Amino acid sequence: MTGLLFFTFITMVGGNPKHDAFGFHSWNDPGAFVGYLGGGSKFEGFLAALWSASFTCVGPEYVSMIAAEAKHPRTYIKTAYKIVYVRQVMFFLGGCLAVGLLVPWNHPTLMAIYRDGTQSAGSAAASPYIIAMQDLGVKVLPNIVTALIATTIFSAGNCNMFVATRSLYSLAQEGRAPKFLTKCTKQGIPIYSFAVTLIFPCLSFLQLSSGSAEVLNWLINICTGATLVTYISICLTYINFHRACKAQNFDRSKLPYYARFQPWSAYLPLVLETIIILCYGYTTLKPFDVGGFITYYVEPIVVVVLFFGWKLIKGTKWKKPGEVDLIWEAPAITLYEESLDEPPIGVFRDCYLALRSVFMRSPKGASTTA
């Protein structure tokens, strides 16, 4: 992504085969904002873009999922969360800026892909970066970017498989999923949770019987709904956590990492995400489209039904702020970190040690301790 941002800057100031310093031309002609497809208003277009952005801006919450895998969780997780802000601004906002500068919204290729639903919508050919490189006459680089996109997708798939498997395994441990999902191999892999998770990627084969653009749209809508539900749950969880801290006079500043401007910085995204998830699917109501309605709203409906269904069947109650356990397993984590002999290491040294373990073999009997 960093390379693509540099590519955008270099080409917009004239560093391209055509020597065209186009700058912010796309923002003036045809303009930065456009009405929604089908003659809708610019606000509808903004809302549609916001829905797509919600699909792509996923991942920061995954940091908390790897806490159990970190050797020094209070050090590494704190550092990772501090970098999240830089990542959000640089990769997501910077990426949006770059795409808007490189390709105008009325580019013929984009119009053919997203309005007519051609087969290219599900491939790297739909990438604005690839389109810009082809228009500017840049050679070789489009093939490299296509290969990098493929490796990025593979990496994202690995991350999602890890998060989904761990979530399912944790639910089974807490009695909220079938007990057989807790079965692990000798290497500690929750094999049945992994197998169940592996079923869902097979949905991608639906494109073999239908247009890839249509299938891609289905999957994006379902995944975006799940993402927004996740973020809404995170906001609600944090708001309740903040209330519990106030009720129990718990000083958050003593934690390794604590969020600022709270609880308002949790209320704001809660309101915005709720508005997004409720409003965007309105296009399926005029006229009513069963398939479209399901893809947009199946996740929120399923989550609400499961949540309240569980509370009714199990008879669980809401905990008051003063009853919330704010200590949990903190003493065990403290004891674990105090028992470690190796101090925390930086990211560059960690990468160096990982590469050394791959390309260099230690002699027999030699110590492998860094």
DSSP output for 225-237: HHHHHHHHHHHHH
Lowest mean pLDDT among 3-7, 35-39, 88-92, 289-293: 35-39
Q: What is the mean pLDDT of residues 236-249?
A: 90
Instruction: Tell me the average pLDDT across 28-44.
Output: 70
Dmax over Cα atoms in the chain, in whole Å? 73
CA dihedral 158, 163, 169, 173 (to 10 degrees): 160
The winner for highest mean pLDDT among 13-17, 205-209, 300-304, 314-318 is: 300-304
Q: Enter the pTM of the model.
A: 0.77
Euclidean distance between CA atoms 222 and 22, whole angstroms: 37
Q: Is the Cβ–Cβ distance between 229 and 299 less than 8 Å?
A: yes
% pLDDT > 70, the chain: 86
- What is the pLDDT at residue 212? 60
287, β-bridge pairs: none
Instruction: Please list the helix, strand and coil fractions of the chain in percent, rounded to the nearest 5, in that order.
Output: 70, 0, 30
What are φ and ψ of residue 117, in 5° steps? 70, 45
pLDDT of residue 360: 67
Phi and psi dihedrals of 288, rounded to 5? -70, 125
pLDDT at 213: 61
For 285, phi then psi, to 5°, come to -100, -10
Q: How far apart, in Å, are the Cα atoms of 360 and each of 349, 357, 368? A: 15, 6, 11
Collapsed DSSP state (helix, strand, coil) of residue 259: coil
Mean pLDDT over residues 296-306, rounded? 88
> Predicted confidence band at 268 (pLDDT cuts at 50, 70, 90)?
very high
The rounded distance, in Å, linking the Cα atoms of 233 and 352 is 38
What whole-number distance in Å separates Cα of residue 122 and Cα of residue 114? 10
**Strand partners for 285:** 288
Tokens representing 215 are 């299938």
What value does the mean pLDDT of the chain take?
A: 79
In terms of Cβ atoms closer than 10 Å to its own Cβ (0-12, 13-18, 19+), residue 211 is middle
- Tokens (6 digits) for 135: 């228009």
